[in-house]
Amino acid sequence: MNHSKITVLIWCFLILFSCKEEQKITFTDVNISSENNSIVVVNIPEAIGNSTIADRINSEIEQTIISELHIGNRDDITSNSIKEGILNFNNEYQSFVKNFPESESIWEAQIDGEVMYQSSEVISIALTTFINTGGATGILNITFLNFESESGKRLENNQLINNLKAFKTLAVPYFNDAIADQDVPLDAIQFKLPANIGYSEDGLVLLYNIQDLSPYLNDILEFAIPFEVVQDILVYNSL
């Protein structure tokens, strides 16, 4: 093989290698705020790396946070960025103060995000939102976002599992054990899959927010099913 052919092969290898490297996504923690903001704190992971994949992931995170910060009907959302969402939340609070000057209520919103799990096939992110708009306790809500690692595409729960019927059968005993730990009679709550299912180091996590099982529970219900139990019915490999 002559020198020119060797050079071409080396360049081809380097190009292929660099393309694979570009696909890798990493995350950095960011704090997002706006001017004159004192009641909203947003700390979330931001995807960096391949711009197409990172943009898709960051866009989904952004839209979720904008929705969480919105006061009122979700169909009326006008914010185009997290900063706008923070600004609108602050404006709603100022409007509240103006209309109810006698009220001593202080609004607050805190959103924290973390990468629960990341592999070559799937990425799971949890967003924890606490919002108080003058109520006695405020509202705590956790949202799982799952993404395909190679494309950044958002994955719905039914895209994670290839046999929902079998998965429900596997999940019921774990659900019953978690309910029993809460001192709730098993026949009080009928099993259903939660809105939040995601990957973690402990296995596939199922999480029910307080409102999902109200009025039976006063706290979030969460449990993990080990990967070795569900591996055969997962669309994306956990290894």
Domains in the chain (CATH in brackets) are 26-155 (3.30.565.40), 156-239 (3.90.640.20)
CB 225 within 8 A of CB 204: yes
The half-sphere exposure of 113 on its side-chain side, counting CA atoms within 13 A, is: 28
* Each residue's pLDDT tens digit, 76-86: 888 999 999 99
CA distance 41 to 130: 10
Give one DSSP letter per residue of 70-137, joined into a string: --S-GGG----SHHHHHHHHHHHHHHHHHH-TT-----EEEEEEEEEEE-SSEEEEEEEEEEESS-SS
Which parts of the chain have pLDDT scores under 70?
1-23, 186, 238-239
Helix (H, G, I), strand (E, B) or coil at 236: coil
Q: pLDDT by residue (tens digit) across 135-189?
A: 778 899 999 999 999 999 999 999 999 999 999 999 999 999 998 877 777 677 8
pLDDT value, residue 153: 97
Closest listed residue to residue 198, CA positions, set 228, 165, 229, 155: 155
pLDDT attached to residue 171: 96
- The confidence score (pLDDT) of residue 159 equals 96
Please give the pLDDT value at position 105: 85
Residues 6 or more apart whose CB falls under 8 angstroms from that of 158 comprise: 164
In whole angstroms, how far apart are CA 121 and each of 23, 146, 190, 195? 12, 11, 33, 21
The kind and range of the H/E element at 53 are helix 51-69
Tell me the C-alpha distance between 87 and 104, whole Å.
21
From residue 52, give the alpha-carbon distance in Å to each of 14, 46, 152.
21, 13, 8
With contact defined as beta carbons under 8 Å apart, do 118 and 145 qualify?
A: no
Task: Give the per-residue pLDDT at 216.
Answer: 79
- Which tokens in the block code for residue 57? 């992931």
| Rounded Cα–Cα distance for residues 57 and 60 (Å) | 5
End-to-end CA distance of the chain: 40
